[in-house]
Structure 1
Amino acid sequence: MASVNAPISKDYELKIVNTEVIVPTLLMQQHILPLSNLDLLIPPVSVHVFFCYKNPFPRTFASALSHLKTSLSKVLVSYYVFAGRLVTDSIGLPKVHCNNKGVRFTQAYAAAPLSQLNLYDPDESVQGKLVPLLSKPFQEDGIPVFAVQVIEFGCGGLVIGCTFDHRIADAYSANMFFTSWAKLSRNDSTASLNPSITRSILCPRDSPAHCAEINNMYVRHCSQEFSQENPHPPSLVSRIYYLDVKNIMDLQFNAKKDGKSNTKLEVFSAYLWKLLISTHKVKDTMNCKIGIVVDGRQHLREIGISANYFGNVLTLPFAESNAGYIKSKPLYWSAGLIHDAIKSAANEEHFQSLIDFVETTKPTPVLAKIYCGADDMESSGPAVLVSYGLSFPLYEVDFGWGKPTFVSYHFPWGAEAGYVMPTHSPVGDGSWIVYMHLPMEQLSAIETDPNRILLPITQDFLHLA
C-alpha cells in the first residue's frame, strides 16, 4: 500500500491570466435541442472534474495551452451541444439552443507547487479554484453549459478543470467527451465514439403509463431548492479518500453468504451505510436511505439507444431500513437490500415507465425522493447517494504529455442527501479514490472508526511532492 501521511493544509492564490471563448471549428446550423424526459429529472446543478498533470512536459505551457484550445475547437464540432446555451421555453421547460456561442476558456496561474494542494479537503483547494463556475444565468443568449480552466503551477505542473451542467450530460457522457478531446489533442487515429445527441430516442410510449414503483422513487414536486451559484449548504463538507484494494477485497469476502457475494460497489455501499448511521444523532427507529445511480444505456438497446448516447440516462433507486436493523444485521444483509434496489431499476420497463411518468407531469418538476428531505424529521435518518465512476477511463485522458497523475470529480450539490463517488486510483492496482460530500458528523464517524479503511488522500500517495 502507498504511504499515507497527514494531509498538507496550505492555501494558495490563483491569478486569472486570460479568458476567451472557444467556438467549434465548423459552425453547425442553429437549432433548439429539447431535453429528454430523463434530462428533466436532473435538478439545475453543475458537475466539476479536474485532471492534474505533473511536470515535466514535452512542450512549453504556452504550447500546451494552444494545443488544448485547438483540439477543443475541433471536438466541439461533434459535441456541439457543449458550445450551446440553456434557455427556457414558454411553459418553463429547459432546452438547449445549439447556437455555436462556444465554451469559456480561462487561463490561470498559481505560484504554489502542485504539492501544496490539500486535495483531501476539496472545499479548500478545489472549489472556486481548480474548477471554473458556469457564467451567471442572466445572459441574453442563455446559460452556458460547459466551461474549462487551465492552471499553470509554479512547479511546472498543470491542472485542467472542467464544469458542465448536469441537465445536459451525465458523467458517462462527459467521459466520452474528455476521451474524444484527448484523442484529438494527441492526433490519435483510433476510433472514438461519435456522440448521438438526438433526444427523441427517449420518447414516451403512445399511451404513457408507469409502474407503481416509480411513485415510491420519484415525486412530482420537492421543496428542496438547488442553486448553481451556492450549490451546497454549509453543513455539508467535501473530502477525498483512498481505499486500498486489499480492504475492498476483504469487504467483499466478509459479506459472503452461502459462498455467494455481492458486487464490490454493493458491499462498499453497505459498509458505508453502517458507518453513516453510527453517529449519536441517528436513533435506531429512524428510517435511513441509500441510493445507487443506475445507468440505463444497456437496458434500453431495444428502443435503439446506443453506447454513444450523449445525455442523461440515469435512475436513482434506493434501499431503506430503520437504523436498528442496519446496525445489528451482518454486512451481507444490507448489501442484499442494495442489490435488490438496483435490480428493481436495471431493466427496460423501469426506464420506459420513468420516461412516461415525466411526460404525464410536465411542466411540473419531478425529482428523485432521495434528493428530498422527509417531512417528519424525527423519524428520518441519513440519506446518501452513491454514484458509479469505476467504469470511466479517467486516467486515459492524455492530451499529448502523458496520463494524469490524479483525477477526481467534485460535486458539492444542494440536496439534503449526501453524495459519494468512487473512481479508480492512479495506482492502477484496483484501489479506489472516493469523493464524498457529507455532513461533518458523518465524516467524523468515518474518520474515528477503529477499523478505519478510508484514508485521507495525500501528496505522498499521489507522488506530487
Structure 2
Amino acid sequence: MAMMNVEIISKEMIKPSSPTPNHLRTHKRSFPDQLAPTTYIPIILFYQSNNAHDGVVDHHQLQKSCRLKKSLQQTLNRFYPLAGTLKEDHSIDCNDEGVEFYEARVACKLSQILQHFNMEILNQFLPFEPHGTHDVLLAVKYNIFECGGVAVGVCVSHRIADGASATTFLGAWSATSRGDDDVCPKFDAATYFPPKDISWGKGDIGVTKEKIVTRRLVFDKSSIAALKENASSTRVLAVSAFIWKRLMAISKSKPAPARVHVAIHAVNLRPRMVPPMPTHSFGNLWYFAAAVLSPHDQLDGGDDHVSNRTLAIKLSKAIKGIDGDYVKKLQSDLIPDSLTKEVELSSKGDVESYRFTSWCRFPLYEADFGWGEPTWVCCPSMPFKNLVVLTSTRDEDGIEAFANILEEDAVVFDRDEELLPFVSWKIADY
C-alpha cells in the first residue's frame, strides 16, 4: 500500500482543567528516569466505527473529539507532570503548559490499514517522529478515517515514563472519557530511587543512526505452545529466547560475527520492591536483566546450535536476579556494576546486544474511550538496533513481536526458514 494523505486539520495545546498546586510544581526525576532514552514511547490504538451510516460520521467525530479533549484536560489534573516542561537540571516544571493535540483526516478506510503492516504509513498516525526532540512530554493525534473509524496515536516522553506508566495514563484517560475513572497515580519514584551522578554514561545506549526497519511477528496459541515445550519456560521467555536465537543467526551469517551475544530484558521494578509498589506508580520504574552467551557456551557448534531451552534458562536466571535485594542496591548511592558493564559491553566491537521489553500484561486493549475497545494496538518503530517489543494479541492467546532490526539484516530475517513456520502476518479481524 502506497503512502497516503493524512491531513492535519487542527492543532492545539490541551492544558489541565485545574491549575497544579504550587507544592507540586517541581517533579524530581528518579535514577531509572536518568537511564531512559530521550525518545518517545509510541502507541497507536485503532477503533472501528460503530456507526453504519457515513452521513452522520462528521457529527459523531465532533462528539468524539470534544469528549477526548475534555477528558484529557481532566486526566491531566492527576497526571500533571505530563503537561509540564523538562528543565535544564532534568527535573520537570509542572507549569501546566499543556500537551499537543492534533486532529487529522485520513484518505482511506480503516480496513485498508488493517490488511497490511506498513510502518511508514503507521508512523503518519503519530503526532510527530518519536525519535526526535520536542518540547512537550506528551502529544496525541486523533486520526479520522473515511469510514468513521479512528486511530489515536500517542507519544509519551521516555524521559518521564515507561511502558507501564504510558499504559496507566491511557487507562485513566479512557476511563475518564467513559465517566468512571478512579485511578490516582503516584509520582514518588525519586523518593525510592534518588538520582545519581551518571554524567560519564550519558547518551542513549543502543540508539543507532543506521536505517532501522520493523518486522511484526505474530505467534498464535499453538506456536507459543510449541516454543514453550522446547524451551520449558513461560510464553514471554520462550518467544524471547526464540527471537534471540534467530537474531543471533543473522550475526552468524556475517563475515565477522560477534563472539559474545547479550540479551537484555527490561524488568518491571514495581512488583519486585519490598513491599511492592502500586501498579500505577508513575515513572521509569524498570531495570535491565542481562543474559550473556559467551564463546564457551557456543562450543557445541555456534550461535545457531544453542538450544532455545539454554537461552530461555539464561534469560530466566537473569530476570530472577532482579529481586528485592538487588532493588535495594539500586536504591543506594552506588552505581550498579551491571550498568557500568552494560556501557562497557556496548562499546566493544565483538559484542552484539539484543533488547527485549514485554508489554504482554499491560491492559492496552481495555482502553475504551466510550466507543468500544480497540481493534488493534501497535508499537511503531523505534531507533534501536535489535529491539523487540512484545504485546499480547487482542484475544490474549497470542503474542505480537515488533522487531526493530537493521535494514540490511531484514533480508536474512525475512527468509529465515527456522522463523517462518512459527509466525503469521495477519493484523486483526475486522
- TM-score, normalization by structure 1: 0.81
The alignment status of 1:163 with 2:151, answered yes or no, reads no
Match of 2:218 in 1: 242
Q: 1:326 to 1:75 in 2, by over 3 A?
A: same
Residue among 164, 167, 185 paired with 2:177: 185
Q: 1:291 to 1:359 in 2, by over 3 A?
A: closer
Match of 1:463 in 2: 429
Structure whose residues are more often helix by fraction: 2
Cα deviation, residue 145, structure 1: 0.4
Cα deviation, residue 285, structure 1: 6.3
Cα deviation, residue 454, structure 1: 5.3
Residue among 228, 232, 235 paired with 1:264: 235
Match of 1:202 in 2: 192
Map 1:377-388 → 2, pairs under 5 A: 377=349, 379-380=350-351, 382-388=352-358
Cα deviation, residue 368, structure 1: 7.4
Cα deviation, residue 343, structure 1: 1.2
* CA-to-aligned-CA distance 1:331-380 (integer Å, 9 cap, x gap): 211111111111112x122223224356799xxxx967657874442x22
Cα deviation, residue 443, structure 1: 3.5
Residue among 93, 98, 103 paired with 2:94: 98
The amino acid across from 1:156 in the alignment is G
Inter-partner Cα distance in structure 1 for 2:347 and 2:220: 39
Inter-partner Cα distance in structure 2 for 1:78 and 1:144: 17
The amino acid across from 1:336 in the alignment is I
**Residues 446 and 454, structure 1, Cα contact 8 Å, conserved in 2:** no
What secondary structure sits across from 1:167 in the alignment? coil
Residue among 366, 389, 406 paired with 2:376: 406
Q: 1:170 to 1:223 in 2, by over 3 A?
A: closer
The alignment status of 1:327 with 2:300, answered yes or no, reads no
The amino acid across from 1:251 in the alignment is L
* CA-to-aligned-CA distance 1:87-124 (integer Å, 9 cap, x gap): 112xxxx1111011111110111111123337865531
Cα deviation, residue 240, structure 1: 2.0
The amino acid across from 1:73 in the alignment is Q
Cα deviation, residue 284, structure 1: 6.5
What secondary structure sits across from 2:19 in the alignment? coil
Cα deviation, residue 439, structure 1: 1.7
Q: 1:87 to 1:372 in 2, by over 3 A?
A: farther
**Residues 41 and 130, structure 2, Cα contact 8 Å, conserved in 1:** no
Residue among 18, 25, 50 paired with 2:17: 25
Match of 2:391 in 1: 423
Structure 1: give runs of 5+ residues left out of the alignment.
1-8, 209-217, 256-260
* CA-to-aligned-CA distance 1:421-454 (integer Å, 9 cap, x gap): 111112x151122111112344344432224145
* CA-to-aligned-CA distance 1:138-189 (integer Å, 9 cap, x gap): 8xxxx31000110101121100000011110111111111111111111126
Inter-partner Cα distance in structure 2 for 1:162 and 1:369: 33
Q: 1:224 to 1:297 in 2, by over 3 A?
A: closer
**Residues 291 and 370, structure 1, Cα contact 8 Å, conserved in 2:** no
The amino acid across from 1:430 in the alignment is D
Give me the identity figure in percent.
23
Inter-partner Cα distance in structure 1 for 2:233 and 2:277: 28
**Residues 42 and 167, structure 1, Cα contact 8 Å, conserved in 2:** yes
RMSD: 3.0
Q: Report how many residues are paired.
A: 413
Structure 2: give runs of 5+ residues left out of the alignment.
53-58
- TM-score, normalization by structure 2: 0.87
Inter-partner Cα distance in structure 1 for 2:422 and 2:208: 23
Inter-partner Cα distance in structure 2 for 1:37 and 1:445: 38
Map 1:206-285 → 2, pairs under 5 A: 220-221=200-201, 233-255=209-231, 261-279=232-250, 280-281=253-254
Inter-partner Cα distance in structure 2 for 1:224 and 1:184: 34
